[in-house]
Amino acid sequence: METVLVAILLLVGLLIYRLNTYTEGFKSKKSHSSKSSDTMKTEIESYGGLDELCSAIEVQDRIKEEQIKLEKTKQYYLKAQEQRDEIDRLERQITKLMEVRDKRTKSNDMLNVARFEKQSEDEQKLRQKMLDQLKSQKTLDVEFNLQPYKAGN
């Protein structure tokens, strides 16, 4: 935008300079018609050149604007890529944590199963011991003499 303003100021300055040249050309009596037609032709050509210069400046400004847009888009893309990378990293961490939790749950389950089996085994041993004692008590056949003891007989 600043370059367009500078170009416009240059054009205005050139235009004022040319107008002064025109008035001087009209004042001189030597080559009034040939100088003025040559000057007019030159001025028209310079206006065409100035128009091309303004168009070129406008094109450069549009190019700069597009470059700025492109740079912003690039920055947004890079930020989005960083966010995707961070999300992927966090997903991997979550997966690892879930695996650790599953392993712990499995090991705790295995530990609980081992405890249950040991308790079952201890219970079975105790039951067997009790059954053995009951059997041994049944097989003991003790006779009691319930008659009173008489002394001297």
Q: What is the pLDDT of residues 99-147, one digit of tens each?
A: 999 999 998 888 888 999 999 999 999 999 988 888 877 665 566 667 7
Distance CA 54, CA 120 (A): 97
152 dihedral zone (left: phi>0; alpha: psi -120 to 50; beta): left
> What tokens appear for 136 in the block?
């041994």
Residue 150 lies in a domain: no
Residue 148 lies in a domain: no
Distance CA 34, CA 31 (A): 6
Rounded mean pLDDT, 92-103:
95
Q: Measure the CA dihedral 39/43/45/50, to 10°.
A: 160
Residue 38 lies in a domain: yes
**CB-side neighbour CA atoms (13 Å) of 45:** 6
Give the pLDDT band (50/70/90) at residue 84. very high
Residue 145 lies in a domain: no
Residue 31 lies in a domain: yes
Looking at residue 45, what is its pLDDT? 64
- Report the domain count for the chain: 1
Residue 44 lies in a domain: yes
The answer to whether the beta carbons of residues 53 and 3 sit under 8 Å apart is no
Domain that holds residue 55: 2-130
Distance CA 102, CA 109 (A): 10
| pTM score, whole prediction | 0.42
Residue 100 lies in a domain: yes
Sorted by sequence, the CB contacts under 8 Å of residue 57 that are 6+ apart come out as 3, 4, 7
- Whether 27 has a pLDDT exceeding 60, the answer reads no
Looking at residue 30, what is its pLDDT? 47
- Whether 25 has a pLDDT exceeding 50, the answer reads no
Looking at residue 70, what is its pLDDT? 95
Comparing 70 with 49, the larger pLDDT belongs to 70
Residue 151 lies in a domain: no
